[in-house]
Chains A and B, each alone.
Chain A
């Protein structure tokens, strides 16, 4: 069964350092999402791509976060510089196309900022 791949699974970094997360969606899925899940809470959308275009990044802290999906397939989420409050699970999801299609999630990257 096709799955969303994410790496790394775990990341420990010091504040002010740069970190990057990678996501490879299910093959053929045009829409890709990055969510942030703080411990004890539900995931919250950071950015949504349709192919290589950003369709919603209203909740992305653009002073330190950036996301790209250059060829409309895999995607990278970057944080620079990392802050203590960025410690969270970063989840990637994909769906077949924009519209209300079911989102399938990857295993996530657990980030700890010291």
Chain B
């Protein structure tokens, strides 16, 4: 079974619009970590955020914000006032347990911001 589901394959928005990328995860562990990475056309995965299962506080970093809800097993990512430079593939990932470090990635959401 897929541990991380990103149901949105592709999203297109017009510049300055807000956009939310969905991530639903599945795990039986009580300790786990969630991540978001950005992959621009150059191919490198850029780390955006890490959140552990005991910290449900939402986080804001500039135009980026993350909403972690354990009740729905979701870790959604919102970009406010999108810009063309935000165009990329975004991956949500899960790491289970306190000692393991294998990342299970979703299939990614391709975001296109139209000028």
Contact = CB atoms under 8 A, between A and B. Distances in A.
B98 A100 contact: yes
B3 to A, nearest CB: 10
B99 interface: yes
Contacts, number: 60
B50 interface: yes
Interface residues of A, number: 25
A35 B50 CA distance: 19
Interface stretch (A12-20, A36-44, A70-78): A36-44
A21 interface: no
Interface residues of B, number: 26
A40 B107 contact: yes
Interface stretch (A60-68, A79-87, A91-99): A91-99
Given A43-B45, A106-B44, A48 B105 contact: no
B35 interface: yes
Interface of A: 31, 40-45, 48, 56, 89, 91, 93, 95, 98-108, 110
Interface of B: 4, 33, 35, 37, 42-47, 50, 52, 91, 93, 95, 97-103, 105-108
30 contacts: A42-B4, A42-B93, A42-B107, A42-B108, A43-B45, A44-B105, A45-B102, A45-B103, A48-B102, A91-B45, A93-B45, A98-B99, A98-B101, A99-B98, A99-B99, A100-B95, A100-B97, A100-B98, A100-B101, A101-B101, A102-B35, A102-B50, A103-B101, A105-B37, A105-B44, A105-B47, A106-B44, A107-B43, A107-B44, A110-B43
